[in-house]
Amino acid sequence: MIILIILAVVATFGLAYLIVKYLPLKYKWMVSIVLVVLGTFLVFKIYDGIMKPINFNKDKRVKYVKVIQHLKIIRDAELAFYKVNGNYTANKEGLIQFIDSAKFAITEVRDTVIQVNKGSKWQPLMVDVEKRIVDTIGYEPILKSFEDKDYKNMFNVPGVEGKKFELVIGLVEKIAGLEVPVFEARTEKKDLLVGMDISLVKQEMEAIESDQIKGEYVSVGSLNEVTTGGNWPPSYDKANREEEENDQ
Mention every residue, 6+ apart, whose C-beta is less than 8 A from residue 133.
109, 110, 111, 112
Q: What is the DSSP string of 104-139?
A: EEEEEEEEEEEEEE-S-SSS--EEEEEEEEEEEEEE
| Residue 71: how many other CB atoms lie within 10 Å | 24
- Which H/E stretch holds residue 188? strand 178-188
Q: Are 119 and 100 in contact (CB under 8 A)?
A: no
Q: Using CA atoms, how far apart are residues 141 and 100, in angstroms rounded to an integer?
A: 8
Q: pLDDT tens across 211-235, in order?
A: 899 999 999 999 999 999 999 999 8
- Output DSSP code: residue 40: H
Report the candidate in 168, 152, 6 with the shortest Cα–Cα distance to residue 73: 152
Alpha helix stretches (DSSP H) within 122-197 = 189-192
Q: Using CA atoms, how far apart are residues 83 and 46, in angstroms rounded to an integer?
A: 56
Q: Using CA atoms, how far apart are residues 124 and 1, in angstroms rounded to an integer?
A: 90
The amino acid occupying position 217 is Y
**Can you give the pLDDT at residue 231?**
94
Whether pLDDT at 185 is above 80: yes
The amino acid occupying position 166 is E
pLDDT above 70 covers a percentage of the chain that reads: 77
**Average pLDDT over every residue of 189-217:** 92
Three-state secondary structure call for residue 206? coil
Q: Are strands 103-117 and 126-141 parallel, antiparallel or unpaired?
A: antiparallel
| Residue 229: how many other CB atoms lie within 10 Å | 11
**Can you give the pLDDT at residue 172?**
94
How do the domains of the chain map onto residue ranges?
Answer: 69-87+152-247
Q: What is the DSSP string of 77-109?
A: HHHHHHHHHSS----HHHHHHHHHH-EEEEEEE
| Residue 88: how many other CB atoms lie within 10 Å | 21
Whether pLDDT at 32 is above 80: no
Q: pLDDT tens across 51-109, in order?
A: 788 999 999 999 999 999 999 999 999 999 999 999 999 999 999 999 999 987 776 77
